[in-house]
Structure 1
């Protein structure tokens, strides 16, 4: 069932669509905030020497590393969600299920981050984290395709813009797959492979533009 409705004044989207976007933003904000809850400030006895404080901070390095990696990964998912829904012009009930599934996967990430951070350098926790990224990425690709297709997408959006936005989706999946491969070699360096995500974004954007140009000479 699709609720076309009026777009209100100007280019304002349907009210149910705005509510869905506001709800999604709130879930992203909660998920990204939950990441820091697992990082507890170290308790060092008063009067301890400076090196004791430094040692306590170094002991937090795995948790801090997991926090920063997941913070920017969730941030990338939020940016992609924002970018896709900026192209939406109408609300449809078909959005609810895929959007909730993607958000559920995002909210699960603080758990997988904690699991990995407390077992840094071990294969299973590292791969559980990577698998959660792949799952979230695939759910995000599905959601973006729905948002950028009728009856949701705005009629004013160009086909080129849709192609570029869709092409960005696989970047996190490809980065996570690289991390999975590295984990089988050495789990300690797995998350370093996630720095390839910006590279995948650039390559996918170039590929999408060239593909569009070839299809629309």
Structure 2
């Protein structure tokens, strides 16, 4: 049974990714590692600090020590640090939105992104542009902040969170797809789809599908 370490900066990201894992990879063993201080400290500076970078690498090393076969981060605000940690890891390490970006680029070049955690936006926009460049695509990304949604979710008011995300989505036009940036936004997808016909993409299902592919490929290569 493969073991996948899920590293979270906020507890509201845990249920969406674990639900996706149960649905798409029930044979895998998922272990959750929560470090809420990351989401508390990240908004304190515009750029990712050296201290936070060090903590992301340290969490990766810790996850490796649990005999994880793959590591998936679920917070979108630490992309560069995750990428650095992945370079020296013996197992696949994924940023949260890699797979969703690829799926969006397959749908077209006019993409919208709704986000609820402001420190994540700039890094995700940069990662999206890099993904488009690697695929040879000229993509236009428009970002929309959904104010108040994350506060509602943290307060346990999921319905209000979903309503606010859907309301933001209804104001978006002339795009080929809408991405819901944070893992914690995944449960709003059905509410959004009830109001608009534009394809809605979420991170958890795309991420589980891709980390499974990478881990299984890595295991096959070890036996060759």
Instruction: State the TM-score, normalizing by the size of structure 1.
Output: 0.29
Larger radius of gyration: 1
Instruction: State the TM-score, normalizing by the size of structure 2.
Output: 0.28
